[in-house]
Structure 1
Amino acid sequence: MTLMSRTREVSVRRKGRWRAAAGSASAAALLLSGLGTSVAQAAPPEKDQVYYASPDGRDHGQCQEQHPCSLEHAQGVVRHTAAKGKGDVTVVLADGTYRIDRPLEFRAQDGGRDGHTVRWTAAEGAHPEITGSTQLTGWQQYDEAANIYVADTPAGFETRQLYVDGVAAPRAATSLELSDLTLTPTGMTINNPALAYLADLPDQDRIEFESLGDFTDRYSPVESIEGDTITMTQPAWDNNTWGWDTVQNSLLADSTWFLVNSLSFLDEAEEWYVDPDAGKLYYKPADGVNPQDLDIELPRVETLVSIGGTYDAPVSHLEFSGLTFSGTSWLGPSSAEGYVSQQIGGYIKGEYDYRPADAFENCSRGCDPYERTRDSWHQIPSGVQVSAADNITFAENTFRNLGTAALGIGNDDNAMLTGTGLGASNIDVTGNVFTEIGAHALMVGGIRADAHHPSDPRMTNHDIRIANNTISDIAVEYQDTTGILSTYVTRAQIVNNELSDLAYAIDTGYGWGINDAGGSQEYLRRGYYQYNPLYETPTTLKDNLIAGNLVHDIQGDFADSGNIYNLSASPGTVIENNYLYNVHGVGLYLDEGSRGILARNNVLSGVNPWVFTNAYSAGNGTNDNTLQENWHTGGAQMPNAEERNNRLIDNVLVSGDNWPSAAWEVMCAAGVAPEYRTELNVNFGGLDPRCQTVAATETP
């Protein structure tokens, strides 16, 4: 069964090769991956140095326009020139596909010096794509009656992703009824006689069990199947059966189950299955389609670009513009660890010697020992990573077909190729397109102790600007992840972005208030502080701005869904001038520990409840928030509001489409500015005649 429907086609149209004036990257009009947005770039001053690269570039020479270099050689030339600190350095990338089989690593020596900048940019009219994938060709008919084709892959090659004409294709899967299986401490008992065939399947240890719960999407690998007994692989099964929203005791009564990744499950169009031992990949195209006519891409790397130095020598003054980044796959969930999601992509792995023997029964809705795990959770890696870095810019790039998260900024060290996490400052992410991403589009900040209480002040993530980005079709593999996640960050600005076709939109904060000054009485009751510190100082989460964003067409994959969501105290944070419509779940969701937040002048159409403050539990810290002068069409859920000092002030309930003019100004100005719009964006100029008189060209 297909896990999710993908009807939108993403095409990548490339035109010509670069033609730039000698010694200049003059007026490069960057057409972003055929998505229809262009930007003019000023030519560098005469003293600045320009180099050239192309997909078939040489591994020697000075990277001149007539004799361009490979990316790797150009990087070495740039390092030598940048070290002189005499001007900006620009690398102009010709049109075409740059296929790499190992990450591009940018360290301190790759950045600008003495206030100068190193730029990697597309040539005029070019659409260079840096990809970790290889094109799969040589398709042969495997099963004519079932319309299944096969192609050769390198022996031993594993992947969790396949991209077909720019769209993530689903792995072969079959859906289950909850009554089909009984879950046990070691695996499952098959109840449905129709599933007896599972015991006869080959490669049983490649099959995975997927569970979609209240707010988690979990994967557990199978070890073996004998008769009606399925034995699951450890430690993934133990880890997936204790904590919260577990596979056997989800907070959602009607959770969804699948078996994934067997050739026998390949029965729906566009599904696929890879057999590493045989070196074969099987694909079932739509009726009447020959895979030879498709661009089928097989990712080969986990990390595409790694940008990171050290706290003593961070990477600085580096810019990427007009490029496409694609083609990664994360194999961690294919191991014995599985994917044990806990909260918005944070996951646990490894063996816990303090896990109780009866955890399957007595820790499926939390227990004291489980609380001990919280400060050791992991983050999903990203295709493009930034840490220990300052003054890094991503302008008008396209991130697509990444089986990891797309862009990770200042994440924990376990999610970074360099092994050095956090420490990201003055990062600008403007006018980019994110689409067909396996996990988060943008993941900013860490979740471990050094993220919220840095042992070195240089670890603090601060001054991150995420503006005018288009984010669509995200979390296609790990569906519990989000469009924009910003955890423990000081002065994050998330402004004028458009987010659609995903389960979660904008999530800020982390930690349920447990790391805030004075801790959380709720987690004191749960036993958390038996194992973890109780801090008397505030975290680094503060002074953030979430403004002017357009959020629409949010899927109802999870019951516990918030569209603009926060965890933990965030003093000085403002949520304003955002427009939400056609969304599932809560509009503004202030979850445990949310404190010191002002939400004003937001428009929430067809959202019920338009606001929820999780203040049910005594002492969980969801206090001192103000929701003022918002327009909405639904009710509010604010338990214990007066007791917690959560205030509703002058908010307006609107009937039907009778929005006042001030609300229309917010609605028409929300989302990306016109110069950054693509075919993925809503055209608000034509949404309603009232928008035609509203200027929507400035960001807050």
Structure 2
Amino acid sequence: MPWRPRTMGAALLALPLLAAVPAVAGEVPDRAGAPAAQLYVAPWGDDAWPGTEGRPFATPARAQQAVRALADGGEGGDEGASARGEVIVHLRGGTYRLDRPLDFDGTAGDSGAGGHRVVYQAYGFGTPRQERVTLSGGREVTGWEPAGGGLWRAEVGDLDTRQLYVDGRRAPRAAAREVPELHPTEAGFVTESTAPQEWERPGDVELVHTFADSYSEGRCGVASVRGDATGTEVVMDQPCHRRARDIYAELYGADNGQGLIPPTAVENDPSFLPERPGSWYLDRSEPGRHVLYLNGRPRGGVVAPVLERLVTGRGTAGEPLHDLALRGLEFTEAGWTAPSGPDGFPHIIGTWYYTGEDPTAQEAATMPAALSFSGARDLSFEGNRFTRLGASALELAGRTRDIEIRANTVEDVSGGGFHVQSADEDPAAAPRGIEVVDNWVHHAGRDYRGSWGILLNQTHDSLIAHNEVAHIPYSGIAHLNVAGDGTTTGGLRITDNLVHHTNSVLIDGGGIYGNGPQGPSFEEGALVERNVVHHADGPAATAAEYPPYALYPDDGGDMVTYRDNVLFANQASVGGVAPRGIRFEGTFLDDESAYWWEGDGEQVEFAGSTRLSPLAPRADCRARPACAAVLDGAGLLSPRR
């Protein structure tokens, strides 16, 4: 998918919410009032048992087999249950370590039937006795031995990972305390420093390039290091270095002739381990006999991700995956190792980076997610937690429609939160009827810091409402139309969200970021209404010259109405690139300037703005009933989970 950098840049239909199934363990009716077929899974169960409450299955995969048998007309679980009604799989509390993704297929009996649903949920979901259920793609690391110098080691076979979790918390990769002054060349970098010659395993080292005044942060590996007492040459992995050089020369016109700024971080060498307690390094030098090193004795459990995806779902145009719900589950400890290869991670923006088999081509790909669905309709993700993940949390691709993402929590993920996008320029393939409501998305982008909290790209008639999106190193909420055609998107509402503390690392973005035409007219375009955005305030060193914006209609933004939003304590309230038809109505903000990088903003209309006190904007808002109502109404509908 091509991306054009920097030079590119309200009456809507009400969307009905999906009904919920009564959440109790025991005999419950389905939505039509018929008894539900019920299956049970427990860590202490046995896959040879019948899946009843007293004799549950041991794995979700075995329960899925029973669900498919019901769809074929067989029986499972409670005696006499049939697939004509709701099918509920109750998972008892505990951790289920998956050896492969749970794969739902619209052609294999995983869908509901006759308007009924298949539900996988935590035991007691929605009640005070709901049990904690964790689906993990990780592997426990044991057999730790002292390695000298305060380090500990464990042999881990062929394990490969870019994340490690110690006592339930993300442990940092080993990183250099100081970054040598490296100057780009076609093959890599040169420096007068001899420090790179002290790297013990240069082929494992990774250089990070953070374009703080823009929207990209790339990563490429080192191939080799050579030098003498006068200096060092660092030869980089290809094609990553070539692609990164070309990308960033186009994006930023780097004056060094090679397109790359010097690296801002150097990671992943055993010589860096002593510099930070709790850091780790994986020695992969001997195939099949990898060794994991940790600075400090591991006193809690240590888990490394193994699976890239935990749950997948797919269907076809004729047989979509449908009427499936996942509720009250924790999805954790999935990884993503592709950036460790020679392709690296030449990041573009958000979820996109360059890859492909042709090393001379720039082919865009998207970061994976732990849960991934395409060709699906009438799905529900409710009350789940996505945490300790090595890429993004949940993605919905083309030909998905009528999907509810409600009351979930996303925290501590390497990539973004919820990503919904089409890979097809056919408007019929665009996702439709997507509802992202009452979710708490925070501390995303832990490794890939150009990630978005919530992304909707090329969607129709969709809703982002009452979410709290916070502590994101790039933009909080993004609504895009990268196809550049107003017929490929429309009918989006972004309303009553609380967005704060964004752009802490990359500042060419904002609290709520939009790009491209959002519909053929204002009536069919995007409505951004009654949101509160504060502390979109990037790195202090560059923000005064080039700040992020609370509301950011970027390159070619068109047919967007911003109404009754409250903006304060941001480095800038409103700005963007070459906006077209944009309307601001009834905005409460603590600054009055709007800045357009390209174009003079003649098609941007401002009406009814109210200036808040820059010294005490929140208190001033509280004193104004209309402003206070927006402040009180934005954010989560339910308590933080």
TM-score, normalized by the shorter chain, greater than 0.5: yes
Q: Which amino acid aligns with 1:269?
A: P
Residues 135 and 643 of structure 1: is their aligned pair in 2 closer, same or farther, counting only changes over 3 Å?
closer
Residues 439 and 629 of structure 1: is their aligned pair in 2 closer, same or farther, counting only changes over 3 Å?
same
**Residues 377-434 of structure 1: CA distance to partner in whole angstroms, max 9, x if unpaired?**
1101110011100000001010111101100111xxxxxxxxxxx1110110000010
Q: Does 1:658 align with 2:606?
A: no
Match of 1:509 among 477, 480, 496: 480
Give 1:556 shift.
Answer: 2.2
Question: Which shows bigger deviation, 158-167 or 253-262?
Answer: 253-262
Instruction: Give the corresponding residue for 1:582.
Output: 535
Where does 1:112-261 land on structure 2 (aligned, <5 Å)?
112-124=112-124, 125-144=130-149, 147-153=150-156, 155-174=157-176, 176-177=178-179, 180-193=181-194, 195=195, 198-213=196-211, 214-227=214-227, 228-244=232-248, 257-261=264-268
Give 1:295 shift.
Answer: 2.7
CA–CA separation in structure 1 for the residues paired with 2:354 and 2:261:
24
- Listed as ranges, the gaps of 5+ residues in structure 2 are 1-22, 74-82, 125-129, 520-524, 538-547
**Given that residues 89 and 117 in structure 1 are in contact (C-alpha distance below 8 angstroms), is that contact kept between their aligned partners in structure 2?**
yes
Residues 168 and 127 of structure 1: is their aligned pair in 2 closer, same or farther, counting only changes over 3 Å?
same
Give 1:550 shift.
Answer: 0.6
Q: Which amino acid aligns with 1:636?
A: S
Instruction: Give the corresponding residue for 2:290.
Output: 279
CA–CA separation in structure 1 for the residues paired with 2:216 and 2:111:
39
Residues 43 and 135 of structure 1: is their aligned pair in 2 closer, same or farther, counting only changes over 3 Å?
farther
Instruction: Give the corresponding residue for 1:636.
Output: 593
- Listed as ranges, the gaps of 5+ residues in structure 1 are 1-18, 27-41, 356-372, 411-421, 518-537, 616-621, 679-700
Name the SS of the counterpart of 2:246 in structure 1: coil
What is the aligned length? Answer: 566
**Residues 318-358 of structure 1: CA distance to partner in whole angstroms, max 9, x if unpaired?**
00111000111111101110001111121111365766xxx
**Given that residues 481 and 517 in structure 2 are in contact (C-alpha distance below 8 angstroms), is that contact kept between their aligned partners in structure 1?**
no
Instruction: Give the corresponding residue for 2:3.
Output: none
CA–CA separation in structure 1 for the residues paired with 2:249 and 2:453:
22
Residues 465 and 611 of structure 1: is their aligned pair in 2 closer, same or farther, counting only changes over 3 Å?
same
Instruction: Give the corresponding residue for 1:303.
Output: 309
Name the SS of the counterpart of 2:478 in structure 1: strand
Instruction: Give the corresponding residue for 1:445.
Output: 421
**Residues 144-163 of structure 1: CA distance to partner in whole angstroms, max 9, x if unpaired?**
4xx3222221x222101112
Match of 2:408 among 411, 428, 432: 432
Give 1:296 shift.
Answer: 2.0
**Given that residues 200 and 271 in structure 2 are in contact (C-alpha distance below 8 angstroms), is that contact kept between their aligned partners in structure 1?**
no
Residues 353 and 475 of structure 1: is their aligned pair in 2 closer, same or farther, counting only changes over 3 Å?
closer
Match of 1:102 among 92, 100, 109: 100
Name the SS of the counterpart of 1:658 in structure 2: helix
Instruction: Give the corresponding residue for 1:350.
Output: 356
**Given that residues 499 and 550 in structure 1 are in contact (C-alpha distance below 8 angstroms), is that contact kept between their aligned partners in structure 2?**
yes
**Given that residues 166 and 302 in structure 2 are in contact (C-alpha distance below 8 angstroms), is that contact kept between their aligned partners in structure 1?**
yes
Name the SS of the counterpart of 1:240 in structure 2: helix
Name the SS of the counterpart of 1:243 in structure 2: helix
**Given that residues 607 and 634 in structure 1 are in contact (C-alpha distance below 8 angstroms), is that contact kept between their aligned partners in structure 2?**
no
Name the SS of the counterpart of 1:238 in structure 2: helix
Instruction: Give the corresponding residue for 2:320.
Output: 314
Q: Does 1:323 align with 2:329?
A: yes
Q: Which amino acid aligns with 2:167?
A: D
CA–CA separation in structure 1 for the residues paired with 2:571 and 2:412:
28
Output the TM-score relative to the length of structure 1: 0.77
**Given that residues 430 and 489 in structure 2 are in contact (C-alpha distance below 8 angstroms), is that contact kept between their aligned partners in structure 1?**
no
Where does 1:323-342 land on structure 2 (aligned, <5 Å)?
323-342=329-348
Q: Which amino acid aligns with 1:143?
A: G
Name the SS of the counterpart of 1:463 in structure 2: strand
**Residues 70-107 of structure 1: CA distance to partner in whole angstroms, max 9, x if unpaired?**
21111010112134441000000000000012111011
Identity across the alignment (%) = 25
**Given that residues 88 and 112 in structure 1 are in contact (C-alpha distance below 8 angstroms), is that contact kept between their aligned partners in structure 2?**
yes
Q: Let me know the Cα RMSD of the aligned residues.
A: 2.4
**Residues 482-538 of structure 1: CA distance to partner in whole angstroms, max 9, x if unpaired?**
100111111221100001111220011042xxx334xxxxxxxxxxxxxxxxxxxx3
Residues 390 and 43 of structure 1: is their aligned pair in 2 closer, same or farther, counting only changes over 3 Å?
closer
Instruction: Give the corresponding residue for 1:526.
Output: none
Instruction: Give the corresponding residue for 2:444.
Output: 474
**Given that residues 82 and 118 in structure 1 are in contact (C-alpha distance below 8 angstroms), is that contact kept between their aligned partners in structure 2?**
no
Instruction: Give the corresponding residue for 2:20.
Output: none
Output the TM-score relative to the length of structure 2: 0.84
Instruction: Give the corresponding residue for 2:460.
Output: 490
Give 1:254 shift.
Answer: 7.9
**Given that residues 433 and 471 in structure 1 are in contact (C-alpha distance below 8 angstroms), is that contact kept between their aligned partners in structure 2?**
yes
**Given that residues 468 and 676 in structure 1 are in contact (C-alpha distance below 8 angstroms), is that contact kept between their aligned partners in structure 2?**
no
Q: Does 1:565 align with 2:513?
A: yes
Give 1:174 shift.
Answer: 1.5
**Given that residues 58 and 73 in structure 1 are in contact (C-alpha distance below 8 angstroms), is that contact kept between their aligned partners in structure 2?**
no
Instruction: Give the corresponding residue for 1:403.
Output: 390
Residues 406 and 444 of structure 1: is their aligned pair in 2 closer, same or farther, counting only changes over 3 Å?
same
Give 1:658 shift.
Answer: 1.4
